Amino acid sequence: MEEDGFFGEKAFQHYCAEFIKHSQQIGDGWEWRTSEDCSDGYMCKTHFQIKNGTVVSHQGTSARVQMCLPMETILHFSVMSKAVVDHDLLEAFSFEALELPLDDSEATETAAATEVIKYEYHVLYSCSYQVPVLYFRASFLDGRPLSLKDIWEGVHECYQPRLQQGPWDTITQQEHPILGQPFFVLHPCKTDEFLTPVLKNSQKINRPVNYVASWLSIVGPVVGLNLPLSYARAASQDE
């Protein structure tokens, strides 16, 4: 899956196709969209989350609590040890949310005491950086959009130290390259730095790894997007 660059657009589309294939198998909601005006496409997903950080259950009988580790710890482990971000690494960091049962009355109280936010996540390929980039937007159910300040304040406390070092270099707002609409974006300037060892090491030991799944499992939790561990297991079983 290599091209002239280390991570080309064809490789990106291949990894996205494999990612979406598994998403369809587990009902995770990811899909591929293309623009009417150009041949470029992107991977996307929409979900709803309560303002305090829990995910809204479709059945209304459970909530999910996000777990995370400091970004510095994750990147140090990935880069310095040149570990493959596969099922072993994901098991160690366990980004997957924990299910906590709620009865109907508790679920009603939770929904009434907080506000539900609609998140729309888009994964695009950056020709400039030759890496995937995570764009997203968020709004309340009445249509009110969240501001950049809201997004910064909503980042989990375990990622706040890194965010405070350079908020504009971490999460900013810019025009969606395909839709031409304002979106928030996780800046991709450090992506190649911490994921190059992942892909190189997987090739060295001849162990398949889905670059998009590995990357998204690291950057997604910063903005409330957590991947089930089955994505890593699926990649290890491919080929």
For 47-67, how does the pLDDT look when each residue is reduced to its tens digit (9 = 90+)?
Answer: 998 876 556 544 333 334 343
Six-digit token pair at 6? Answer: 């280390």
Place of tokens 């839709």: 179
User: Do 96 and 227 touch, CB atoms closer than 8 A?
Assistant: yes
- Please choose, from the candidates 20, 22, 17, the residue with its C-alpha nearest in 3D space to the C-alpha of residue 30: 20
Residue 220: pLDDT band with limits 50, 70, 90: very high
3-state secondary structure of 98: strand
Question: Virtual CA dihedral for 220, 223, 229, 232, nearest 10 degrees?
Answer: 0
- Please choose, from the candidates 102, 121, 100, 99, the residue with its C-alpha nearest in 3D space to the C-alpha of residue 111: 102
- Over residues 90-137, the pLDDT tens digits come to 333 333 333 444 455 555 554 544 589 999 999 999 998 889 999 999
Q: Which amino acid is at 7?
A: F
16 tagged catalytic: no
Residue 206: pLDDT band with limits 50, 70, 90: confident
> Which has the higher per-residue pLDDT, 80 or 108?
108
Place of tokens 């899956």: 1
Q: How far apart are CA 18 and CA 227, in angstroms?
A: 15
Mean pLDDT of the chain: 75
Q: Which of 44, 127, 158, 189 is catalytic?
A: 189
User: Do 183 and 174 touch, CB atoms closer than 8 A?
Assistant: yes
